[in-house]
Structure 1
């Protein structure tokens, strides 16, 4: 069961309550457990209770409005901590736009917002339709990883005596999960900014620098979109290394241009140790919809073109 935390201003309590009603089926199905500050009971320490629940949450909903942005506690405390946990991969932050405001310039403005195209709930002709769209986004964000059975194959990346192995206790996206996720989000199967993405370019550079291969990326589709958020990097050497922040599409679809022991899955974080078994470990996989670069692109395009991504 995923724990869901509402970060909101009390001026928007009626909209929060209405969203809670729309989430009731997910609650009945045992998929989520919701919490907001009205659950603090008499005698409990108010700020401490909020901090504890915020740090336990799997999904954090930022209910965004002018009052939310103006609230020192919502913005400086709850939102700041939520973004820290989102960046660390500890929780998923979903901005839910309640009313028109300058939210795109906030730290969470690069995240894909709900409802669709970041259109404020109160501007929808049918509020129930807007809330339904939010619920669908939340349902899509619930943990749904697939266990992967161990597979062992010989390495073909030119490095001596390496074995490709996926640890038995790792859960991750497989290729079919990746495509399913795209369908669920009504997105293309492949990331639409590949040939312009700075993260993909940096991923190729990391692999090329490590194994001596040259795979230049051609910028044929306009100016390069800079890498944002966590940097893609590799630390280590010939006997062991840790790689993080890489473009998941390179590992999944450009297998010959990635570390073979970490390819075949949308790997965004992995490691290699010559003296361990398995030598290669896929630590984290991701979908392009979770990438900062794509979300920034999608939000900007939705704003400029009235929601047509």
Structure 2
């Protein structure tokens, strides 16, 4: 069984290439926080998030990037607002703030702040000031969430969405070329990904940090592949989690609203203001890219060689042995 220690990676070179191809004015470098890689500017907001006041009526949507987050957010928002679609007509990032956004693209005190579309540089404050009950999004692992959540002093609802690790890696690559200024090729990217040198990685540890608490009644786990296979069942599962029920005709309408074609055309979830911001600051490498790209399961086969697939399969088999978690 292969492990990363047996692979011929030049870790010094990987760090140098990461600095060359994944940093800029928007991100000076990277650091490690409780075992997880984040932009170094996370240090500026880590205490704010640790001390963040949490309420039991909060809802936290937690995911590793590119696991169907936006899709799930729109489903959850619709259900929580009793399928009143008029409430959806606002930028997703304004309705459900992404608490650590500012350290990803618009660090405090950066000269990029004046170009902020309105939800980047003040993301912690925006999350704090949302009208209750708040819905807050994060890609942070459980270990970096507010202290009140980690100690179970507060018990907000937590919905975690996860996905096959190989598909996630491929989707994250395209995402970083669209919105995070990654200028390297996929060969560099997958090596940075699997060695835990990109933001929010290691992915397996990130997902497992939540999975360990799956027996808690305030936790719900949703899998991207289940949403692809049978969205209606996942919608009903989520309704049950919120103790809500709707007529079958309304469920049908919601499933249609959440279809891939509908989501791709929805201006409130397509991240156009964010894409324009990234173009203004010169980090949109894929100028023709879309935020909602394919939404497919198994797309990794189109970019990963069989050798790379085997490295991922062996790695995840070894890392998640005995956990019952499937990535």
Query: TM-score by structure 1 length?
Result: 0.24
Decide which structure has greater strand share. 1
Query: TM-score by structure 2 length?
Result: 0.24
**With CA pairs under 8 Å and 6+ residues apart, which has the higher RCO, 1 or 2?**
2
Answer with 1 or 2: which has the greater Rg: 1
Decide which structure has greater helix share. 2
